[in-house]
Amino acid sequence: MTMTFEQVVETIRQFPAEQQEMLIDLIRGWRIETRRREIARDAQESLAAFRNGQLKPQSAQAVITELVQSSEGQE
């Protein structure tokens, strides 16, 4: 039986507080692991791009300046 998101939420609302907290901890852990894998994948892709000459070395100050300028353009 497949449950809709709303059904899942309603079911969880009926759980005792302790089980809700356990579920929160589980989901938080899953999200952390997913984010770690995303960061690792992005780092591997960036390193590969750098090694292939697609990225140029820059000083930290140059990167910071570029970030500040790009964020000012978004305001």
Q: Where along the chain do its domains lie?
A: 22-55
Residues in the chain, overall count: 75
55: CB partners within 8 A, 6+ apart: 46, 49
Mean pLDDT of the chain: 94
Amino acid sitting at position 14: Q
15: CB partners within 8 A, 6+ apart: 23
Q: Once rounded to an integer, what is the mean pLDDT over residues 48-55?
A: 93
Q: Where are the alpha helices (DSSP H) in the chain?
A: 5-13, 17-51, 60-72
3: CB partners within 8 A, 6+ apart: 11
> pLDDT band at residue 75, thresholds of 50, 70 and 90?
low
